C-alpha cells in the first residue's frame, strides 16, 4: 500500500471512529467578556459558535455551512445554523487525523483542506456532513516544514486555488534554494498548473481580491527580533504575477535586513500599501461587500490582528480596517478591540468571513469561539 493510500485510509478510519460525535447540538451561549469589546456605535457582537477548539480559517458553503480549520489540532469542523438566527445549531467533524489543517476553501460543492504539505478535497460535502466522502488528494507539492507551515487557502476570480508557503524560519534565505518558500503559489482546482504567483512574502495567512479590479491583496507578518516597533506588518497589493515583496532582504518597504540586506536596495522590491502595527500578527482579511453595515464600510478591508507574542507591551488582539482610495491607503484604524484586558489576552482574532446576510464572522483560536458581528437591528 503506497503512502497516499495509507493517509486516505487513516483519515477515513478516524472519521468512522468519530461517527458518533459528528453531529453535536450547540446551545445559545452568552459570554460576559463580550461587554469588553468596543466597536463603533450601532455594531453588535455575539457568539455564533463556541467550543470550536483552535478555530482558525473560515470558509462558506453554498448552503450556508461554515467550515473551520485549525492549526494545533487535527480536525476540520462544519457549523450549521439551521434556523438562520445567527447561532450555529450543529457542529460536525468532517475531517480528522490531519497535520495542521489550517486552510479551508469551498468550490462547486467541494471542500478543499490544506495540511502542512498537501491539499485534499472532499466532494458533495454539504450533502454528507455526518458521513463525508473519502478525501481525494489534490496536491502534495508543498514542503513538510511546520514553521510557518499552516496555510490559508482561497479560490481567486481566475478559478485557481491560491496557497501561501511561509518562510521556514524567522529570518533566512531558504527561498534561494527552494522558490516555494516565502511565496504565494497557485494551481488549478485539480492540482495541475502549479506555479509561484508572488514571492518575497515572509508569512501570509490571509488574502482577498478587490471586488472591482479582482487584484490580489494580502497581509504579511514582519520578522521578529528587531525591536518593539519594527518592522511593520504589511498589507500588500499584487495586481500581477511575479512580484517580489522583499523578504528576507527588505522589510516594510524601507528597512534592509541586518543579516541578509547587504547588497540590496529596498527600491528594487514592491513596498506595502499599508504599514500595519508591528508584531500584531495581521492574519485574515476580507473586503466587505455586504449591505448590512453602513455604506461607508462597503469595500473596506477588515483585518484580524492576532496579537503580539514578543513585544514588551502587547498590542493587536483586535480587528482593524483599511480604507483605500485609488488603490492607496486612505486610513488604517481600529474597528473592534477588547480581547486584550489589563495587558492579558482572553481572545485572539484569526480569520474573517462575510455571511450571506452581510454579517461578519471572526474566528478566535485562543478562546475557541466564532463571533458574529452585526449592525443595527440585525443581531
Note the pTM of the prediction, 2 decimals.
Answer: 0.93
Q: How many angstroms separate the CA atoms of 164 and 202, rounded?
A: 10
Question: Does pLDDT of 13 surpass 60?
Answer: no
Q: Which of 6-15, 183-192, 203-212, 342-351 has the lowest mean pLDDT?
A: 6-15
CATH number at residue 119: 2.120.10.30
Cis peptide before 248 (omega within 30 of 0): yes
pLDDT digits (tens, 9 = 90+) for 98-110: 999 999 999 999 9
Report how far residue 357's alpha carbon sits from residue 359's, in angstroms, rounded to the nearest whole number.
6
CB 207 within 8 A of CB 285: yes
The pLDDT of residue 31 is: 87
State the residue for C-alpha cell 450555529.
Answer: 88
> Using CA atoms, how far apart are residues 76 and 249, in angstroms rounded to an integer?
36
Query: What nine digits make up the cell of 115?
Result: 495540511
pLDDT at residue 23 in the model: 67
Evaluate if residue 10 carries a pLDDT over 50. Answer: no
21 pLDDT tier (thresholds 50, 70, 90): very low
Return the C-alpha cell found at 203. 508569512
Q: What is the pLDDT of residue 259?
A: 97
Long-range contacts of 173-180 (CB under 8 A, 24+ apart): 173/248, 173/260, 175/199, 175/200, 175/247, 175/248, 178/143, 180/141, 180/142, 180/143
| Cα 101 to Cα 96: distance, rounded to the nearest angstrom | 9
User: CA-CA distance, 187 to 189, in Å (whole number)?
Assistant: 6
pLDDT tens, 246-268? 999 999 999 999 999 999 999 99
Number of domains in the chain: 1
CA 321 to chain centre: 16
Alpha helix ranges (H) inside the chain:
3-17
pLDDT of residue 26: 67
Q: What is the DSSP letter of 277?
A: P
Residues 123-137 pLDDT 10s: 999 999 999 999 999
Other beta carbons within 10 angstroms of residue 338's beta carbon come to 17
Domain of residue 229 covers: 3-375
- Residues 7 and 44: their CA atoms lie apart, in Å, by 43
Determine contact, residues 294/375, Cβ cutoff 8 Å. Answer: yes
Taking only the tens place, the pLDDT of each residue in 51-64 is: 999 999 999 999 99
Query: How high is the pLDDT of residue 25?
Result: 66
Rg (CA), the chain: 20
Amino acid at each position: 500500500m503506497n503512502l497516499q493510500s495509507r493517509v486516505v485510509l487513516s483519515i477515513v478510519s478516524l472519521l468512522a471512529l468519530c461517527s458518533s460525535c459528528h453531529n453535536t447540538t450547540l446551545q445559545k451561549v452568552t459570554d460576559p467578556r463580550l461587554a469588553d469589546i468596543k466597536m463603533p456605535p450601532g455594531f453588535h457582537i455575539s457568539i455564533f459558535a463556541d467550543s470550536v477548539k483552535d478555530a482558525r480559517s473560515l470558509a462558506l458553503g453554498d448552503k450556508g455551512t461554515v467550515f473551520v480549520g485549525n492549526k494545533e489540532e487535527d480536525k476540520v469542523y462544519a457549523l450549521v445554523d439551521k434556523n438562520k438566527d445567527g447561532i450555529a445549531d450543529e457542529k460536525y467533524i468532517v475531517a480528522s487525523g490531519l497535520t495542521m489543517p489550517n486552510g479551508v476553501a469551498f468550490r462547486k460543492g467541494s471542500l478543499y483542506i490544506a495540511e502542512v504539505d498537501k491539499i485534499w478535497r472532499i466532494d458533495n460535502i454539504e450533502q454528507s456532513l455526518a458521513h463525508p466522502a473519502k478525501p481525494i488528494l489534490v496536491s502534495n507539492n508543498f514542503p513538510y516544514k511546520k514553521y510557518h507551515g499552516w496555510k490559508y487557502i482561497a479560490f481567486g476570480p481566475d478559478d485557481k486555488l491560491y496557497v501561501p508557503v511561509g518562510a521556514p524560519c524567522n529570518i533566512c534565505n531558504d527561498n534561494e534554494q527552494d522558490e516555494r518558500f516565502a511565496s504565494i503559489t497557485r494551481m488549478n482546482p485539480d492540482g495541475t498548473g502549479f506555479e509561484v504567483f508572488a514571492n518575497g512574502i515572509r508569512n501570509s495567512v490571509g488574502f482577498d481580491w478587490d471586488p472591482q479590479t479582482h487584484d490580489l491583496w494580502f497581509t504579511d507578518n514582519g520578522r521578529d527580533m528587531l525591536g518593539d516597533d519594527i518592522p511593520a506588518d504589511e498589507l500588500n497589493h499584487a495586481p500581477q504575477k511575479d512580484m517580489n515583496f522583499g523578504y528576507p532582504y527588505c522589510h516594510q518597504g524601507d528597512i534592509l535586513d541586518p543579516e541578509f540586506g547587504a547588497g540590496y536596495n529596498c527600491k528594487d522590491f514592491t513596498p506595502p500599501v499599508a504599514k500595519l502595527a508591528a508584531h500584531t500578527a495581521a492574519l485574515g482579511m476580507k473586503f466587505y461587500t455586504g449591505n448590512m453595515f453602513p455604506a461607508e464600510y462597503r469595500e473596506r478591508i477588515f483585518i484580524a490582528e492576532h496579537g503580539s507574542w514578543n513585544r514588551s507591551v502587547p498590542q493587536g488582539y483586535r480587528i482593524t480596517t483599511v480604507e483605500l482610495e485609488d488603490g492607496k491607503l486612505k486610513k488604517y484604524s481600529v474597528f473592534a478591540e477588547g480581547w486584550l484586558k489589563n495587558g492579558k489576552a482572553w481572545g485572539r482574532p484569526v480569520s474573517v468571513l462575510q455571511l450571506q446576510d452581510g454579517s461578519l464572522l471572526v474566528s478566535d483560536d485562543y478562546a475557541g469561539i466564532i463571533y458574529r458581528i452585526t449592525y443595527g437591528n440585525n443581531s
